[in-house]
Amino acid sequence: MPAAIVLLIVSVPGQGLRSRDAGISNSWNTITPLHSSFADVARMFGTDPGADPDTSGPFRVDGGEVTFSFLTQSLAKIYHAPQVMVGKVFTVYFKPAAPMAQSEVRLAGFKRCVDQLDRRYYYFVSEAGLAYQISRKSEQIETVIYQPSAAQIKRLRVSTACVF
């Protein structure tokens, strides 16, 4: 795995959009899959922390929009996840306001992953849980996906090597 990668870091409203070198990470603005909770997201966006944590968003943020999915009771049962994981962020989807060119990120340390059921996109996925959804037509990154790391996925009974 490379020491650094150029990736898009997106901030909550008011903090701006910026690029920088950073280690490969599956965290978006301190929200990390399987660590952060629905309550963390609710505090960040001023929403009701008592709402049903299935999905949340999309929320408009500087540079695009972000949507969160959560590990629900039924998903925890399917994936044989411990009960303490229920209500945790499972995946974060950041959709930039304008698609990004692949040249805007270094894809060293990422593997190409093709979802046979979806002919519109393919993905570059890292072991750390960061993935890029790329349009087959335009070859542009349309969504940045923050998901559990490969090691976390191995502990769950999840049948995908690509993205959630």
Contacting residues for 46 by C-beta, under 8 A, at least 6 apart: none
Residue 80 near residue 156 (C-beta atoms within 8 A): yes
Predicted confidence at residue 156, as pLDDT, reads: 78
Please write the tens of the pLDDT for every residue from 95-149. Answer: 999 888 888 888 878 888 877 767 777 888 888 888 898 888 888 999 999 998 8
pLDDT at 164: 61
- Nearest partner of 13 among 41, 45, 40, 57, judged by Cα: 45
Residue 99's pLDDT is what? 81
pLDDT for 37:
92
Rounded to the nearest integer, the mean pLDDT of the chain is 78
What H or E segment, with its residue span, contains residue 67? Answer: strand 64-70
pLDDT per residue as tens digits for the range 29-73: 999 999 999 999 999 998 888 777 667 889 999 999 999 999 889
Tens digit of pLDDT for each residue in 15-27? 222 233 346 788 9
- Our measurement of the distance from residue 53's CA atom to the centroid of its chain's CA atoms, rounded to an integer in Å, reads 16
> Please, which pLDDT band fits residue 153 given cuts at 50, 70 and 90?
confident
- pLDDT at position 60: 94
Q: What is the pLDDT of residues 49-59, one digit of tens each?
A: 877 766 788 99
Q: Is the pLDDT of residue 2 over 70?
A: no
pLDDT at 46: 87
pLDDT at position 5: 23
